[in-house]
Amino acid sequence: MKPLKIFISSVQKEFATERKALAQYIHNDAMLGDFFEVFLFEEMAATSNSASQVYLAEVAAAHIYVGLLGNDYGFEDSLGISPTEHEYDEAKKQLLQKWVYIKGQTDETRHPKELRFIRKVGDDVSRKRFDTIEELKKEVYNSCVRYLKQTGKITSHEFDESINNEATLDDIDPMLIQQFVRAARLKRNFPVQETATVEQVLIHLNLIRNHQLTNSAILAFGKNPQRYFTTATVKCAHFHGVEIEKPIPDYKEFSGTAFEMAERAVDFVLSKISLSTGTRESSNQVSTTYEIPRRAIAEAIINAVAHREYYSKASIQVSVFKNRIEIFNPGSLPDELELSDLPNAHGSYPHNPLLANCMFLTGNIERYGTGILEMIKLTKEADLIPPEFVINEGFKVILWRPSASNKGKHSTIHDTIHDTIHDTIHDTIHDAKFIAIENLSHRVVWLLNDEMSRDEIMVALELKNRDNFQKTYIKLALETGLIELTMPEKKTSKNQKYRLTKKGKSLQKKLKGND
């Protein structure tokens, strides 16, 4: 078998030690040495051809481009472009695998052109940072192994389908399995009956092998997934300005199954952004519209939960700013895709196909490979700035709020005025007037019409997590005397509904006056 050629590109003087150490490491490693060979320009014999001709020819003959970027931009030719950047451009032209590693955690000492080059690379491929040679070796090793797996040269189980030797069927929640089957039968005509056993359902989903659970079985249906995966959480923070600042007005970390984490994170974001209600001219049912479509927010968060790299020690981070929402996912684009592919129709290459399949069957994921296109479509329909996608030590989605259109999406003005029930948003989207209501019990008062059940209110507010809704919306509204039960003597009745008290009606009138 002919080895795969790795071309190492960098400013030679700045990375002389790293280049030599990396080449020796790959050559001496028992596995990598069988599959890869490294090209270093400094080891070539003298030739009559110009240096530029030689290194571009070697890039074209390679299978993998490894770029090491640091402080120096390097020698500039008559066009003002360094050999390293020419090599990168050639690798992109030849459609090579491109692995880029950036030395250092800060950018203060970098040459301006090197900073520009790093940003250019970041628009195309995932980047990893390192400080020491050992960290660089580890990152390159991981990239090599991932490539060998994806190309079928070595076989092993990814996190998604790997057996968890510690978990047993007792770690699976039967109620979650039952709820899943019910939803999957309704959404996708799932062929398994609701009377099936837990093991039968897991076998059908390929989440169990030889009576042992896979990691995704625990993430989807576990009683306590974080017992085995401590960083499999979603961290949500709300900032009143446009940058990360302390103190943080609200911070929550959500655990539970993949479904529960996604639901709670979406509900968190919805509770922090403005909303509008329609009229009842055509229906008695209230219709609620958020300043960013709920489905766009859900797509971004569910994609992060379904496609993140769970081997990573980082958590998913959802940050709500005054002008945008950022969803950070500790993962990367699959090697088959680049950032430029995302706004166009593209294939689906999930990091966790078994977990993604579970979320597809329940309708959380509509169709493979369409989540990003759906985000773009929904935000366009809402007259919002298109979403942005960033690769930098992970994958980040940025959803812009209406205020970004007025102040500029890169505004650095810090607005520390806290949202209150009297704040109003003057942005108009499809003739909807949005109001910011920070107190969640007041949102119930704002939309409550006559008598409504819990499910009707949840549907109106586009909320999914029943426990969170009861705790953060309904309970406080009851305790503060804004709403009351229609059947106080039968609190758990399935026919139970809620209505406004005199105090609630007075507040609703004030809120409607601000709408």
Domains and CATH numbers, the chain: 4-150 (3.40.50.450), 159-227 (no CATH), 234-349+362-407 (3.30.565.60), 439-514 (1.10.10.10)
Pairing of strands 316-320, 324-329: antiparallel
Instruction: List the structure tokens of 217.
Output: 């079985």
Burial class (CB in 10 A: 0-12, 13-18, 19+), 488: exposed
Give kind and range of the element (H or E) at residue 127.
strand 127-130
CB 244 within 8 A of CB 325: no
Q: Closest by alpha carbon to 97, among 64, 60, 125?
A: 64
Would you give the distance in Å from CA 237 to the centre of its chain?
15
Please state, in angstroms and rounded to a whole number, the distance separating the CA atoms of residues 45 and 91.
23
Q: What's the chain's Rg over C-alpha atoms?
A: 27
Q: Where are the alpha helices (DSSP H) in 341-474?
A: 353-361, 371-381, 403-407, 440-447, 454-461, 466-469
Q: Is 468 in contact with 267 (CB distance < 8 Å)?
A: yes
Neighbours of 77 (CB within 10 A): 11
Q: Tell me, what amino acid is at 232? A: A
Query: Residue type for 111, please?
Result: H
Per-residue pLDDT 10s for the chain (515 aa) are: 689 999 999 999 999 999 999 999 999 988 899 999 999 887 775 555 567 788 899 999 999 999 999 999 999 999 999 999 999 999 999 989 999 999 998 888 999 999 999 989 887 787 888 999 999 998 898 889 888 877 778 766 678 888 888 999 999 999 999 999 999 999 999 999 999 999 999 999 999 988 899 999 999 999 999 999 999 999 999 998 999 888 888 999 999 999 999 999 999 999 999 988 765 444 445 568 899 999 999 999 999 998 888 877 789 999 999 999 999 998 777 766 777 778 777 767 778 889 999 998 998 876 666 788 889 999 999 999 999 998 877 889 999 999 886 544 443 333 433 333 333 333 333 445 788 888 999 999 998 988 999 999 999 899 988 888 999 999 999 999 999 999 999 888 989 999 999 999 999 998 887 65
Model confidence pTM above 0.85? no
Query: Which residue's structure tokens are 């093991």?
Result: 199
Are 392 and 122 in contact by the 8 Å Cβ rule? The answer is yes
4: nearest Cα among 25, 28, 30, 33? 33
DSSP string computed for 364-399: SS-STT-HHHHHHHHHHHTTPPPPEEEESSSEEEEE
